[in-house]
Amino acid sequence: PGNVKLTPKILKNSQEYIAEKYGVGHNHIDFVFHGGSGSTVEEIRESISYGAIKMNIDTDLQYAFMTGIRDYMGTKAEYLKAQIGNPDGDDVPNKKYYDPRVWLREGEKTFVERLKKAFEDLNNVNTL
């Protein structure tokens, strides 16, 4: 937990040590990349070049989902205070604003955008 300082060179050094000690090929070991949150694209790609084949992105996806909901709630705050009555009028209903399908969709949108960024960062766009 907290701010993890990624050091991709450790992966490189590990691969070189294993290759030399056991006489195996380049990048023989597959690594799981923990600590991806807050890492730069350069650090992520460097880690991939040293044998990282999986990167955990759940924390970033959770935050992205929350961001969409948080931002929606912030911009629509005046419409979420009551069932009826908002800046558009005292008798105007607010159902279309507090409907969970609306604000959850905003979380889904920011989730998808963050997922797309992860695919790009991990060089995994149009690879299948």
Tokens read off for 86: 């908002």
- Indicate the DSSP class of residue 122: T
b/e sequence 56-71, b meaning 16+ C-beta within 10 Å: ebeebbeebbebbbee
Q: SS in 3 state form for 58-91?
A: HHHHHHHHHHHHHHHHHHCHHHCCCCEEECCEEE
Each residue's pLDDT tens digit, 36-90 = 777 889 999 999 999 999 998 999 999 999 999 999 999 999 999 999 999 999 9
Instruction: Identify the H or E element spanning 31.
Output: strand 31-33
Task: Tell me the domain boundaries of the chain.
Answer: 1-56, 57-121
